[in-house]
Structure 1
Amino acid sequence: MQNLQTMNIKTVSFALLAAALSSCSTPVEKGIEGKIKRDAITVTTKVPGRVAKLWVSEGDRVKQGDTLAVLDIPEVDAKIAQAQGAVRAASAQYEMAERGATANQLKQLQAKHDALKEQYEFARKSFSRVEAMFADSLISPQSYDEAMAKFQGARAQYDAVVAELAEAKSGVRIENRLMALGQQERATGALREAEVASDERYILAPADMTIETISLHVGELATPGYSIFNGYLPHTTWFRFTLPESEIGRVQPDAQIRVFVPYLDETVEAKITAIKQLARYADVSTAYPDYQLEEAVYEVKVRPVQVAETDKLLNNATVILNY
């Protein structure tokens, strides 16, 4: 009788143990792990220079237009000086072209005109006498040719000074004025370009942002396009989850859900805003992916309903989506 009771007790114990093991082996549905994300922003340089001053530190929140750093660019200062000299020279050249000949130049041309006119009149009268004497055969053909040559030379000089004086009085040719104007505009453009490059020594915040990392220190060289500051835009918090195609049907766009933040032990009301396929397996952010490699993987983008209240959340911290 005692042996029978002992066997019954053992049978019940084994049954209870089997039930316990069976209960433990039942899969427990777990939430989907994801990450906290924010829209990032990068501040780069346009001209090369050395960092002369840093006005912010990592973790600072800045407003759009705030000065983040100042670069030392001595080459730009030299270009500005050169451009200023070119502008002054071109402006003087254009002003001279606009005004034409000065009063003293006109006086000199008038005196030259009067002198050549007298020489021309004298040569004309002398040639008239020689011409009459040649008609009466009183002089040789050689003397007649010499008198004619002097008369024609005097007339050519007089015609030239008449044209020169007329041009001086009428002003500079339009082509010369346009050429001088073009040189002035070119020099002004070069000066403006140098001034714009000089303004680039001040690295300004392109938008309201939180500084996450600073890549350079004072004295280091920043090349064009180099990323000096990296940060995040405010009020842009969102949650990123990944799901295989076998489970993607369990979430729907625009669905209202809750996201649990383990490190704060808080729940955030959120909404599914986008679902898109990922191109590479490496883009998966779930800690324990449980699906076949041939399955397509999708990114689920979730935004909190009250975005401003999630600015306190740490970037890339783990969150859980329960569905």
Structure 2
Amino acid sequence: MSKFKSLAVAIPAAALVGWVGYTFWQAYQPQPERMQGQIEAQQYNVSSKVPGRINQVLVRKGEQVERGQLIFTLLSPELDAKLEQAKAGEQAAGAMAAQAEKGARSQEIEAARDQWQKAKAASSLMEKTYKRVDNLYKDGVLAEQKRDEAYTQWQAARYTERAAYQMFGMAQEGARVETKRAANEKVRMAAGAVAEVEAYAADTKVESWHNGEVTQILLHDGELAPQGFPVVSVIDMKDAWAVFHVREDKLTAYNQGAELSVSIPALGDERYSFKVSHVSVMGDFATWRATDAAQGFDMRTFEVEARPSLPIDGLRVGMSVIVE
């Protein structure tokens, strides 16, 4: 009986000693280090390059949008007026170019021809008048001054005839090659102005350039949208990553391409595989930890990005990511 009593006392004592020893052993084991990061994703701001009043926002927060989907429209009467002006300028330039190509009208050519004939008749008359005056001068009837005056009038009439003939020739030939080229270039310039205004007018219907989820709507129907001001924000959760700030003495475990097993508390106890995609080339000197004087330096941190190896359902921006 005394043997059983001794065993009954020895067994609990041995168990107590074993438990105390295991506890001390556990206490001296290195504790796992935890590091917390957070999820970020690529964000896009949808805006217009022209100012205007918001006509209609066609999406809502939380809605999935695709590239090319219409996001919002603008009202801009000023652009409509500028487009009308540009089109009118294009038509005027086209008319001037057509006039340069066709040359003078038939009536203008006939008028130039009549002016030449008129000048030609006047020159012929002045020539006859000069010959009569010259004969009278030779007979001693008129003074030399009168003969010189008649000669000058004849020469002036000849020059007038030549000028009228040149004007007639110009009317027949039409515009010069350089004039036609200048007129055609003005047509191109006017067409470019129309294309520019049309491009601005097309930007009053703004489409998404990316796939993603609408996270913010900053302006609503009827509000004024300045040039380049974001109206709708879109986040692409398929382009998401985790960001950690790693102390430099732990950085060797986070080289580019390293595999990380992480947990995301918001998604339960499941673990996920992430791969380090980027390590900052510059330390963050604003985040540091002071060390003791014996160690001799302060700790800096480096930003590390890691992307999920497989798509993760339910992932949201700002979720905590824990890595041990």
8 A Cα contact 1:214 1:230, kept in partner: yes
Number of the residue aligned with 2:267: 264
Q: Cα gap change, 1:171/1:210 in structure 2, threshold over 3 Å: closer, same or farther?
A: same
1:154 pairs with 139, 153, 157, which one?
157
**What CA RMSD, in Å, does the superposition of the two structures yield over aligned residues?**
2.8
Write the distance in 1 (CA, Å) between the matches of 2:128 and 2:256. 110
Number of the residue aligned with 1:135: 138
8 A Cα contact 1:244 1:297, kept in partner: yes
Write the distance in 1 (CA, Å) between the matches of 2:114 and 2:56. 67
Number of the residue aligned with 2:245: 242
- What residue identity is the alignment partner of 2:44? I
Q: Cα gap change, 1:159/1:277 in structure 2, threshold over 3 Å: closer, same or farther?
A: closer
Moved more, 268-277 or 160-169: 268-277
TM-score by length of 2: 0.84
What are the Cα deviations for residues 146-187 of structure 1, in whole angstroms up to 9, with x where unaligned?
322331222121111111111111221233323323332322
Q: CA deviation at 1:291?
A: 7.3
- What residue identity is the alignment partner of 1:79? K
Matched ranges for 1:10-25 at <5 A? none
Write the distance in 2 (CA, Å) between the matches of 1:231 and 1:26. 48
Matched ranges for 1:29-68 at <5 A? 29-68=32-71
- What residue identity is the alignment partner of 2:304? V
What are the Cα deviations for residues 122-165 of structure 1, in whole angstroms up to 9, with x where unaligned?
22122122212212222222432332233122212111111111
Matched ranges for 1:158-307 at <5 A? 158-265=161-268, 266-276=270-280, 279-280=283-284, 292=291, 294-306=298-310
8 A Cα contact 1:38 1:237, kept in partner: yes
8 A Cα contact 2:289 2:299, kept in partner: no
What are the Cα deviations for residues 164-219 of structure 1, in whole angstroms up to 9, with x where unaligned?
11111122123332332333232222222111111110111012122111111111
1:314 pairs with 301, 313, 316, which one?
316
- What residue identity is the alignment partner of 1:313? L
Q: CA deviation at 1:22?
A: 9.9
Write the distance in 1 (CA, Å) between the matches of 2:58 and 2:241. 30
Q: CA deviation at 1:294?
A: 2.8
2:82 pairs with 79, 82, 90, which one?
79
TM-score by length of 1: 0.84
Query: Which blocks of at least 5 consecutive residues in structure 2 are unaligned?
Result: 1-15, 292-296
Secondary structure at the counterpart of residue 113 of structure 1: helix
Query: Which blocks of at least 5 consecutive residues in structure 1 are unaligned?
Result: 1-12
Write the distance in 2 (CA, Å) between the matches of 1:264 and 1:253. 26
